[in-house]
A and B are shown apart, each in its own frame.
Chain A
Amino acid sequence: MSAEPDLTAGWVDAELAEEFPDLGLAAVRVEARSGRSPFAVRDRLRELSDRFTGSKVVHMRQDPVPWAYRVFFRQVGVDPDSDRTPVERIAVERLEWGGLRSQNLLDDALVIATVETGVPVIAFDADTVGEHLGLRLSRPGEELGSGRPLSVRQIVVADEDRPLSVLFGEISEERGVTRRTRRMVLVALRVKGVPEISVEEALWTAADVLTENQ
């Protein structure tokens, strides 16, 4: 296992922090590229698929970490039965496809981290985003990238200058990871009921998978 990368805590806008005192963001920067997943990663995905049975997926919503994200989804106006939480979406896809399908190194690393910990992780191109990432509400007239208007008071992941993605949703095209990306910033969200160690583990897991398979 490689040395643990440095995690940084993100900022949370005052209004959001007042509404959700346990809300937090953690990030880690890694020098890595995506691309085709090597055999070891695909093999790990296969092993993880065996953890999911129909009964386990049904009862997953009562496990503390997936449940915490379900509650947060509800509290911010998302129906987790229509727009599933990331770990539930992966579990349902696993049942539908009979396995966790390998897509590319980055997506596989994010899936592995999410399945292992229940904590969703997203990635941005580190060279196109600012130094300090955080959570805030969108401002009137603000757009995600070029031409994708945000509705007012939507919760977004942002840097010092602009929104980078809708929380648990669309990532700005200009800020996402592409073939040209050489450095990434991985971001995980913590909500009430999710231990900090789970968030850290999620980021370490994703960072490990990425850096060990370059």
Chain B
Amino acid sequence: MPDVLQPPSPAVLPGTTPDERPARRTLLDQIARLEDELSQLFCSTWPRQGFDWSVRSHGGPRMLSLAELETLRDDLADRLGAARRALSDRTYVEEQHRMRIEEMLLEPEKHKWVRVSNEDIGEPGCKHWHVRPRWGVLGMLLSWWRVRISSGCPLAT
């Protein structure tokens, strides 16, 4: 009797939904890690202003679905990336300002009336460096320039 090939058995479909737990746990860990990095970055940026730290809320406190956890993770990663880029750009500009202060101190006559503040170099306080002529108009006419460094914030009234 010739051998007859048995038809392949139909694919077995799972009777239950896949277990989401490992994926959820991974996402929760990722969210915790991203929040940690975001907090570190927030502290690094202080006292600079103008960074956006908000990440869309999901109407909590509640148990988020897997898709919502994924969206939250992606939003946090995007926010972290954007904040890092913004800080990198800001620190580059601040470095340029620091170099400019050095140049102002070395050759004030080449930086007439230039004013750089603490905020421009990412530092707290109201101190600023300002290239001004010595003795007013006479200094301007004779090109006697110097850097005046302010003593700090005005007293509160």
CB–CB B31/A77 < 8 A: no
Residues of A within 8 A of B151 (CB): none
Task: Tell me whether A5 is interfacial, beta carbon within 8 Å.
Answer: no
Task: Tell me whether A61 is interfacial, beta carbon within 8 Å.
Answer: yes
- A58 — nearest CB in chain B belongs to which residue? B46
Question: Assuming A74-B35, A151-B62, is B72 touching A61 (CB within 8 A)?
Answer: no
Distance in Å: Cβ of A25 to nearest Cβ of chain B:
14
- The interface size of chain A toward B, counting residues with CB under 8 Å, comes to 33
Q: Mark B27-57, 1 if CB is under 8 A from A, else 0.
A: 0100110011001101100100000011111
Question: Assuming A18-B21, A74-B31, is B63 touching A79 (CB within 8 A)?
Answer: no
Contact of B53 among A15, A73, A81, A167 (CB under 8 A): A81
Q: How many A-B residue pairs have CB under 8 A?
A: 86
Task: Tell me whether B58 is interfacial, beta carbon within 8 Å.
Answer: yes
CB–CB A137/B63 < 8 A: yes
Residues of B within 8 A of A148 (CB): none
For the complex, give the distance between the alpha carbons of A152 and B64 in Å.
11
Contact of A154 among B40, B53, B54, B61 (CB under 8 A): B61
Task: Tell me whether B2 is interfacial, beta carbon within 8 Å.
Answer: no
Contact of B58 among A77, A138, A166 (CB under 8 A): A77
Contact of A16 among B32, B35, B63 (CB under 8 A): B63
Question: Assuming A82-B54, A151-B62, is B28 touching A75 (CB within 8 A)?
Answer: yes
Residues of B within 8 A of A71 (CB): 31-32, 35-36
CB–CB B53/A62 < 8 A: no
Interface residues in chain B, defined as those with a beta carbon under 8 Å from any beta carbon in chain A: 21, 24, 28, 31-32, 35-36, 39-40, 42-43, 46, 53-64, 68, 72, 76
- 29 residue pairs bridging A and B, Cβ less than 8 Å apart: A16-B63, A19-B24, A59-B46, A61-B42, A70-B39, A71-B31, A73-B61, A74-B32, A74-B72, A74-B76, A75-B31, A75-B32, A76-B60, A78-B58, A79-B56, A79-B57, A81-B54, A82-B54, A82-B57, A137-B62, A151-B62, A152-B62, A153-B62, A154-B60, A154-B61, A155-B60, A155-B63, A166-B61, A169-B61
Interface residues in chain A, defined as those with a beta carbon under 8 Å from any beta carbon in chain B: 15-16, 18-19, 55, 58-59, 61-62, 67, 70-71, 73-79, 81-83, 137-138, 151-155, 166-169
